[in-house]
Amino acid sequence: ETTKEHLNFQAEAKQLLKLMIHSLYSNKEIFLRELISNASDATDKLRFEGLTDAALYESDSDLKIQVNYDVDTRSITVTDNGIGMSRQEVIDHIGTIAKSGTREFFESLTGDQAKDAHLIGQFGVGFYSAFIVADKVTINTRRAGLTSEHGVRWESSGEGDYSLETIHKETRGTEIILHLREGEDDLLNGMRLRNIIRKYSDHITLPILMKKEEWSDEDKKNKIIDEDETINQASALWARPKNEISVEQYHEFYKHVAHDFEPPLTYVHARVEGRQEYTQLLYIPSRAPFDLFDREHRHGIKLYVQRVFIMDDAEKLMPNYLRFVRGVIDSNSLPLNVSREILQESKDIEAIRAGSIKKVLGMIEDLAKGESDEEKDKFSTFYREFGQVLKEGVGEDFTNRDRIARLLRFVTTASESDEPGVSLEDYIGRMKEGQEKIYFITADTLRAAKSSPHLEVFRKKGIEVLLLADRVDEWLVSHLTEFDSKQLQSVAKGGLDLGNLEDEAEKEEQKKEANEYQELVERMKKTLEGKVKDVRVTLRLTESPACLVADTYDMGGNLERLLKQAGQ
Ligand code: ADP
Ligand code: MG
For helices 247-258 and 190-201, give the axis angle rounded to 10 degrees: 80
123 CA distance to ligand 1 middle (Å): 14
Chain centroid to CA 322: 9
Alpha helices in 86-158 (DSSP H): 87-89, 102-108, 113-123
Residue 480 near residue 401, CB atoms below 8 Å: yes
Torsional sign, CA 330, 332, 334, 335? positive
Residue 99 half-sphere exposure toward CB, CA atoms < 13 A = 15
Distances (CA, A) of 469 to 316, 367, 420, 453: 31, 24, 11, 16
pLDDT by residue for the chain (568 residues), tens only, comes to 457 888 887 666 777 778 778 777 888 998 999 999 999 999 999 988 988 899 999 989 999 999 999 999 999 999 999 999 999 999 888 876 655 566 666 677 777 766 776 666 666 678 988 999 999 999 999 999 999 999 999 999 988 789 999 999 999 999 999 999 999 999 999 999 999 999 999 889 999 999 999 988 988 888 999 999 999 998 899 999 999 999 999 999 999 998 888 899 999 999 999 888 999 999 999 988 777 776 666 668 999 988 888 888 777 889 999 999 999 999 998 887 777 777 777 888 889 999 999 999 999 999 999 888 888 899 999 999 999 999 999 999 999 999 999 999 999 999 999 999 999 999 999 998 888 999 999 999 999 999 888 898 888 889 999 999 998 999 999 999 999 999 999 988 765 666 666 667 777 777 777 788 888 888 888 888 888 888 877 766 777 777 777 766 666 666 666 666 665 5
The alpha carbon of 559 and the centre of ligand 1 are apart by a number of angstroms equal to 42
* Residues with Cβ within 8 Å of residue 565, at least 6 apart in sequence: none
Q: How far apart are CA 383 and CA 197, in angstroms?
A: 35
Please name every residue paired with 136 in a beta bridge, in sequence order, or none if there are none: 179
Closest among 93, 77, 96 to 85, alpha carbons compared = 93
CB distance 289 to ligand 1 below 6 Å? no
Q: Is 68 annotated as a binding residue?
A: no
Quick check: CB of 264 below 6 Å from ligand 1?
no
Amino acid at 242: K
| Cross-strand partners of 494 | none
3-state secondary structure 273-290: CCCCCEEEEEEECCCCCC
Check residue 1 and give its pLDDT.
47
Q: Give the pLDDT of residue 155.
A: 96
What angle in degrees, to the nearest 10, is found between the helix axes of 504-516 and 518-527? 60
Cα-to-centroid distance, 375 and ligand 1 (Å): 35
Cβ atoms < 10 Å from Cβ of 32: 24
* Spatial contact of 468 and 477, defined as CB atoms under 8 Å apart: yes
Residue 348 has a pLDDT of 86
Q: Which-ligand-closest: CA of 99?
A: 1
Q: How far from chain centre, in Å, is Cα 460?
A: 43
> Is the CB of 300 within 6 Å of ligand 1?
no
Residue with CA closest to ligand 1 atom 11: 93
The CA distances from residue 11 to 108, 159, 543, in Å, are 18, 11, 55
d(CA 66, CA 42): 13
The pLDDT value recorded for residue 564 is: 67
Q: Is 565 annotated as a binding residue?
A: no
387: Cβ contacts below 8 Å, ≥ 6 apart = 408, 409, 420
* DSSP-based three-state secondary structure for 174: strand
ipTM confidence: 0.99
Sheet-wide strand order for 300-305: 266-272, 278-284, 326-331, 300-305, 308-311
- Return the best residue to mutate from 93, 204, 262 for the ligand 1 pocket (most ligand atoms within 8 A of CB): 93
Our answer on whether the CB atom of 124 is closer than 6 Å to any ligand 1 atom is yes
430 is in an annotated binding site: no
Indicate which residue's Cα is closest to atom 4 of ligand 1.
126
Show Cβ contacts of residue 407 under 8 Å, excluding neighbours closer than 6 positions.
361, 364, 365, 368, 390, 423
Alpha-helical segments (H) within 271-372? 340-345, 347-369
Q: How far apart (Å, rounded) are the C-alpha atoms in residues 236 and 304? A: 10
**Which pLDDT value is given to residue 90?**
93
Q: Atom of ligand 1 at shortest distance to CA of 124?
A: 3
